[in-house]
Amino acid sequence: MKRYGRDRMSAGGGLLFGIDGVMTALCYLFLLIVVVIPVVSLGYHAFFYEGRFDPSLFAAQIAEPANRAALWNTLKIAFWVTLFGTAAGTFFGWLLGRSDIPAKGLMRAMFSIPYMFPPFLGAMAWDLLLNGRSGYLNKFLMSAFHLSSAPFNINSVGGIVFVECSYYFPFVFMQVASALERMDPTLEESARIAGAGRLEVFRRVTLPLILPAVSSGALLILIASLAHFGVPSILGFSQGIYTLPTRIYAVISRTGGSFEGIRSGAALSIVLVAVMAVAFMIQKKAIGSRGYDVIRGKSMNPSPVRLRGARIPLFILCIVSLVFTVVVPLVMIFLVSLVRAYGLPLTPANFTLKNYSRIFAASGTAESIKNSLFVSAAAGVLCMIMGTLIAYVVRRIRPRGKGILEALAMLPYSLPGTVLAIGVILAWSGGFFGISLYNTIWIILIAYLARYLSFALQSSSAALLQIHPSLEDAARSCGASHAQSILDVTLPLIRPAMVSGFFLIFLPAMREVTTSILLYGPYTRTLGVQIYSLRDAGMIPQAAALGSIAIVIIVVCNAVVTQITKDRKGV
Amino acid sequence: MADVVFKNVSFRYGSHAVLEDFNLEIKSGEIFCLVGSSGCGKTTLTRCLLGLNRPSAGEILIGGVCVFSASRHIDMAVERRNIGMVFQDYAVWPHMTVGENVAYPLKKKGITRRETEERVKKALDLVNMGAYSGHLPNQLSGGQQQRVAVARALAAESDVIVMDEPFSNLDAKLREQMLDELRDIQKKSGTTILYITHDQQSALRLCDRMAIMEPGGKLCQTGTDEEIILHPKSRFAFEFIGVANFIPVRKSPDGTFRLIAKEREFDWVPAQDPSEAGERFLVGVRPGDIVFDPDSPLRVTVRRAVFLGGEYDYFADLGGTELRIRQNSQETENGVPVREGTETGIRFCDCRYFPKEEGAAI
């Protein structure tokens, strides 16, 4: 048969040197740059000094009372935020997922707004309202009730817990609401038939069934709160209240970003990582012990629980909660962005649009928007490409050590942004082969890549699982090379997941502060950093104006995503 | 047209050997059916042939050309082996229309658009899917998707087509029709077809030659379908292609034979000469080869009688051993079957002898 001519024979097979090998090598190279070198640098500099093991710095940081106070605050805040956030999330999740409360669809959309609203802007808004000395609401209450001191002080641990809660309860809310919607209604109905009352059914059937959703959401809150930077930095700095992430930032910025400061930050980072590790261990244990899967993939229409007399009061409660978490901060930011000077009463006479024109005259504002757009889009595209590649290598090519590959790609997910930023500084500002990216946009890009890679990996992995490998095999038996089979079959099938994955990275990256605040240089401010430093410089109306612009950008992008994902074909 | 040869092929998943020293020769232009229960290594074998799995040892030749050799380090890429494949799970691409699916292999071969259109239409007509060219696969039933997969393999006009359970989702009538048509198509084109199935009925309907694969990847018998049905060489083959009863037999010193049922023994006069079978062996008999004979010394009690339309299926007790007996409805006495609970005698009209399994209790 001439078709099997000698020239078409390949020796040795394509496994080691072919496209598979190239893809695997590319994944390792990427992870080396973005994850391995920064993490190793961090650990090295925390414990080694000039090539020798030297735990004295680490010990000194632990011994420092201010650091201990920060650790204690971190744990305290995380505990209360988790407790209240979970309670609120479960309650509202049940209310919107299972009861006959009015305007469910609208309310659900509203409740997921805190998801995309940057928490540090919320903190700014509450600071404007309830600042112990000059908050607008405090001043109003003081004059209205002739009080001698401010009734509220948002610049406290309680204030930080309140604001964080209002941004983190959706973690539990969304999980619980969707779990309840997918729950097999016959489970509840059969308990009623067996003679159990409503409360009994909730306590003995519904609650145990949604417990896995509640606990996994609760741990998301716990982890997010432990690593959170924005809210405690805005509300706590003025009163000297520090958490570990803000303390790390303070230590570094106090020394003007010197090597000594960064090393201290690295040592503190180790403490923060240890706390996170404990949280992850709890999560693993909690999830491992609950194995039942009573939630069906199919959507059903369970009969909603009648609230009867409580319907309207609970509806009002929902509206009030929404007003507090969404409307008030939003309106506040917009109003303050219009005021001529900070501190003037919020009356139309004092309103002007000058803040908007002024911020663009200020150095670096337009630059910061451009930087954020560039670095977020680049991070989204690169993360999606590399995340898909890693998912493909891990799921399909399965080289030796695929577990290591996956673990490395997921590792940054468990590292707080602050810690990642320090790792990236230590690695890529001259530490390796003299490569210094310090003060360039690229160092921010590397940190973003590390931070958001796990998002991309998870969404691509899930999409790849839906695609049976035989689809690709079939293309190869039809005469397509491995590369062609990927391009013709696998890639078109996971493209929708890649597009929505891109926005999953782009949107949070647009409002990112935690890592950028440690990495920015004179010409590489991001949008978040610019808002933060405008506020820091006392230009609060301008900060609010830029915040309003950020919100508009995020809302527009979000609308685009919803539009895209809505039209997506169900392949 | 091309023949396919497996020479001493071994394949293992980790430490588990799926194929060991596997040898098989498929002649050019024949339909060869590989029959075996699930998990016996059929799919692994096809994946080795396609180049999706890499054997640890051995050689595979297609049309005289070596596509794989462990010792000579040859491993031709999947796409160069020119094998059409119908996957068990159809593997019809969900983002392409039926027509685009079938046209894909032709596109990869660089066939002109006009010829592609003709061949796609021809292939779809052959599987009765001509009207669905513009449909997306998710608008089709499982059986229709399977037929699209078959059309895709046929359109490519490869030298060899491998089909892994291609008609499992069709109802019996459509399956028979498809099998007959596949046979007609193959006789015209002369393509070599390797057809994998666990269903011996489809295999019998389709094949020129067949092989029965034992769990563990060994072929227990290869031959034409008649050979295998009429002269099964092993107990496994005999049991695999139909319902079978097995009863241990012992030869007495005086030359007579004793059937050893679970609770008692019977004197037995064999229908065929068992002299080559040795002292102890198994007698294998098909349910249809047992007839009721009230005078026979082999006494049974009928426990259950099941009416199956053309025939009756009996479950009878022979000294504690359960026997399956089949009786044509026409042959019952005045249309009255043997009643449940009746005690009567039986005779074996036709039987085969197999060596006794090692270590089996008497």
CA distances from B189 to B115, B155, B186 (A): 17, 11, 5
Residue A99 lies in a domain: yes
In this predicted structure, the answer to whether residue A200 has a pLDDT above a threshold of 60 is yes
Q: Looking at the structure, do residues A230 and A266 belong to the same domain, yes or no? A: yes
Q: Looking at the structure, do residues A50 and A180 belong to the same domain, yes or no? A: no
Mean pLDDT of the region A430-437 = 76
In this predicted structure, the answer to whether residue B362 has a pLDDT above a threshold of 80 is no
Return the residue of A nearest to B55 by Cα: A13
Q: Looking at the structure, do residues A34 and A46 belong to the same domain, yes or no? A: yes
Q: Do B78 and A476 count as a contact with CB atoms less than 8 A apart?
A: yes
The H or E element spanning position A283 is helix A259-288
pLDDT tens-digit profile of A86-125?
A: 999 999 988 888 888 888 878 877 877 777 788 888 899 9
CA distances from A328 to A320, A323, B5 (A): 10, 6, 77
pLDDT tens-digit profile of A483-496?
A: 899 999 999 999 88
Mean pLDDT of the region A433-451 = 89
Q: Looking at the structure, do residues A104 and A42 belong to the same domain, yes or no? A: no
Looking up residue A401, the CATH number of its domain turns out to be 1.10.3720.10
pLDDT tens-digit profile of A514-562?
A: 999 999 888 889 999 999 988 888 888 889 999 999 888 888 887 887 7
pLDDT at A567: 57
Query: pLDDT confidence of A291, banded at 50, 70, 90?
Result: very low
* Residue A478 to residue B106: CA distance in whole angstroms: 8
Tokens at A567, concatenated = 């039209």
Choose among B2, B54, B79: nearest Cβ to A480.
Answer: B79
Residue A312 lies in a domain: no
Q: Do B83 and A477 count as a contact with CB atoms less than 8 A apart?
A: yes
pLDDT tens-digit profile of A21-30?
A: 889 999 999 9
- The domain total for chain A is 2
In B, residues 136-195, which contact A (CB 8 Å cutoff)?
138, 149, 152, 156, 159
Residue A339 lies in a domain: no
pLDDT at A193: 85
Residue A494 lies in a domain: yes
Residue A340 lies in a domain: no
Mean pLDDT of the region B295-320 = 89
SS3 label, residue B280: strand
Query: pLDDT confidence of B350, banded at 50, 70, 90?
Result: confident
pLDDT at A12: 36
Domain boundary among A241, A260, A291: A291
Going by the DSSP 8-state scheme, the letter that residue A6 receives in this structure is G
In this predicted structure, the answer to whether residue B357 has a pLDDT above a threshold of 70 is no
In this predicted structure, the answer to whether residue B1 has a pLDDT above a threshold of 80 is no
Q: Looking at the structure, do residues A508 and A415 belong to the same domain, yes or no? A: yes
- pTM, two decimals, is 0.81
Q: Looking at the structure, do residues A496 and A430 belong to the same domain, yes or no? A: yes
* Residue A476 sits at the chain B interface (C-beta within 8 Å): yes
In A, residues 6-45, which contact B (CB 8 Å cutoff)?
8-15
Above 0.95 for ipTM, yes or no?
Answer: no
pLDDT at A372: 93
Q: Looking at the structure, do residues A199 and A89 belong to the same domain, yes or no? A: yes
* Residue B214 to residue B154: CA distance in whole angstroms: 29
* Residue B12 to residue A76: CA distance in whole angstroms: 55
> Which residue in B65, B68, B164 has the most chain A C-beta atoms within 10 A of its own C-beta, making it the best mutation to test that interface?
B65
Domain boundary among A250, A275, A291: A291
Choose among B62, B82, B91: nearest Cβ to A468.
Answer: B91
Count A/B contacts: CB-CB distance under 8 Å.
105
In this predicted structure, the answer to whether residue A316 has a pLDDT above a threshold of 80 is yes
Q: Looking at the structure, do residues A278 and A377 belong to the same domain, yes or no? A: no
Q: Do A13 and B75 count as a contact with CB atoms less than 8 A apart?
A: yes
In this predicted structure, the answer to whether residue A422 has a pLDDT above a threshold of 50 is yes
Q: Looking at the structure, do residues A373 and A279 belong to the same domain, yes or no? A: no
Q: Looking at the structure, do residues A180 and A150 belong to the same domain, yes or no? A: yes
Mean pLDDT of the region A134-140 = 82
* Residue B361 sits at the chain A interface (C-beta within 8 Å): no
* Residue B95 sits at the chain A interface (C-beta within 8 Å): yes
pLDDT tens-digit profile of B144-196?
A: 998 999 999 999 888 899 999 888 888 888 888 889 988 988 888 889 999 99
Query: pLDDT confidence of A163, banded at 50, 70, 90?
Result: very high
Q: Please give the residue that has the higher pLDDT: either A362 or A405.
A: A405
pLDDT at B359: 39
Domain boundary among A291, A311, A331: A291
pLDDT at A382: 96
Domains by residue range for chain B, with CATH: 4-239 (3.40.50.300), 245-355 (no CATH)
Mean pLDDT of the region B243-262 = 87
Q: Looking at the structure, do residues A418 and A405 belong to the same domain, yes or no? A: yes
CA distances from A299 to A97, A184, A294, A296 (A): 13, 9, 13, 7
Lowest mean pLDDT among A176-185, A243-252, B61-70, B116-125: A176-185
Q: Do A10 and B75 count as a contact with CB atoms less than 8 A apart?
A: yes
Give the range of the structural domain holding residue A244, as residue numbers without chain letter.
56-291
In this predicted structure, the answer to whether residue A401 has a pLDDT above a threshold of 50 is yes
Return the residue of B nearest to A477 by Cα: B79
Query: pLDDT confidence of A9, banded at 50, 70, 90?
Result: very low
pLDDT at A424: 92
Question: Average pLDDT of chain B?
Answer: 87
pLDDT tens-digit profile of A338-370?
A: 988 887 888 888 888 888 888 887 778 888 999
Query: pLDDT confidence of B361, banded at 50, 70, 90?
Result: very low
Q: A508 near A452, Cβ under 8 Å?
A: yes
Residue A320 lies in a domain: no
* Residue A164 to residue A179: CA distance in whole angstroms: 24
Question: Average pLDDT of chain A?
Answer: 84
DSSP B197-241: ES-HHHHHHH-SEEEEEETTTEEEEEEEHHHHHHS--SHHHHHHT
Q: Which residues of B touch A1 (CB under 8 A)?
A: 2, 62-65, 159
Q: Looking at the structure, do residues A154 and A170 belong to the same domain, yes or no? A: yes
* Residue A397 sits at the chain B interface (C-beta within 8 Å): no
